[in-house]
Amino acid sequence: MVLTRRIEWIDEFKGFVLLLVYLYHVEQSFPCASMGMLHLSALRMSAFFFISGVLFSTRRFNNFKSYFIHKTKVLFLPYVALSLLFLLLDPVIYNFDLFPKAPRMTIMNVHPVITGVKDYVGWNFAKIFVAGKSSIGSGPLWFVFTLYSVSLLFYVVQWVSSKAGKVPSFAVAVFALTSLVSGWLMFKNHIRLPLGIERDLTVMFFFACGWLCKPAIKKAGKLHGAVVAAVAVVSLALYAFVEIPDPNFSIMNNVLGKSFVGFLASSVFGIVGLVAVFLLASRLPKVAPVRIFKGILRNISRNALVILAVHWWVLLVMRLLFRPEINKPGIAYLSIGFVALVVIASIPLFRCKLYKLLGKERVSVKESLSLK
């Protein structure tokens, strides 16, 4: 297994994490659709940035300039384009009476006073370009901007560390831990910086750990299935034991809970358990149900930008216009299927017509929805 090449189980891992994000947002929008997603808060985003670190590679880029141009094309420009597009599609702009039902904005500890559409649009611009948290209409894209920032910073870190010839893992590990502590101290002292720098510091720890764990993951892929299964069971059991649900927990806002040890332990146990589960899943026989489910996860991973933006926007519209009718026992769960259908329908639109907004090449409808 060569970790610098595309690996199916890693795409499936990313797709699964993004699926959890989607389900969490459904539950957040309509609490009657209770699925226990709050218990996975310490796992979702830390796992995503960890696996992004595993995938980090500069082999295709001769220098920082080429890497910067590539990441700007595939991450930053889509972040800006989609943030602005879904700001334009925000119902509040066209009916400001809906504003009291919209999600609240906080920008660098500022709770803006918004009295009209002009204020609303202006603060959304600040949210996109100052806080790095995207517009209200495309909220989850904050982590696209964060991935962009962290990737560029880590390029510099590993380049500086490699001046001696071979990248010293110890130096990167020290940097990662220092970054995490800095992010935690900023959380405890309520420090909010432009472009989400405090968030980047926290996230950098998981990204760097992913990069550092490449050799270990490669070796784990060759272990006996019983050993990997044991690691999965023990790690997830420990996650369940140490994890304490906190409705205020948010990587986006760098609100990390009450305990540094608890946050770190739950994130680490969750990541290890999830990696072990997907290493095991990569060995399952390719029978139809398994093949289809894995294909769905890989498709989610390939279409992450579209799915992240569209599912949130659909939920936002439903919250603004129909929340009392939808947020009822039993009925709330129907929103899962409805949002999924809209998202699936939107994938060909973006991949075939609006592909330039994503920084991607145009593909056919069949390819955009492919489960291979």
pLDDT in tens, 151-191: 999 999 888 777 655 668 888 899 999 999 999 999 999 99
In a domain, 179, yes or no: yes
pLDDT over 90, % of the chain: 81
185-224 burial, b for 16+ CB within 10 Å, e for fewer? ebbeeeebeebbbbbbbbbbbbbbbbbbbbeebeebbeee
Task: Give a yes or no: residue 102 inside a domain.
Answer: yes
Domain that holds residue 327: 8-368
Domain for residue 166, yes or no? yes
Q: At what angle do helices 260-281 and 225-242 cross, to 10 degrees?
A: 150
For residue 6, what pLDDT is reported? 65
The domain tally of the chain equals: 1
Once rounded to an integer, what is the mean pLDDT over residues 346-366? 94
Assess if residue 1 is contained within a domain.
no
Model confidence at 4, pLDDT cuts 50, 70, 90, reads: very low
Give the residue among 169, 184, 143 at the shortest CA–CA distance from 48: 143
CB 349, CB 340: distance < 8 Å: no
Is a pLDDT exceeding 90 seen at residue 247?
A: no
Flag whether 290 is in a domain: yes
Distances (CA, A) of 230 to 224, 234, 237, 280: 10, 6, 11, 11
pTM of the model: 0.93
Give tens-digit pLDDT for 254-302. 999 889 999 999 999 999 999 999 999 999 998 999 999 999 999 999 9
Q: Over the stretch 69-124, which tens digit does the pLDDT of each residue have?
A: 999 999 999 999 999 999 999 999 999 999 999 998 889 889 999 999 999 999 99
- For the chain, give the mean pLDDT: 92
Residue 326: inside a domain: yes
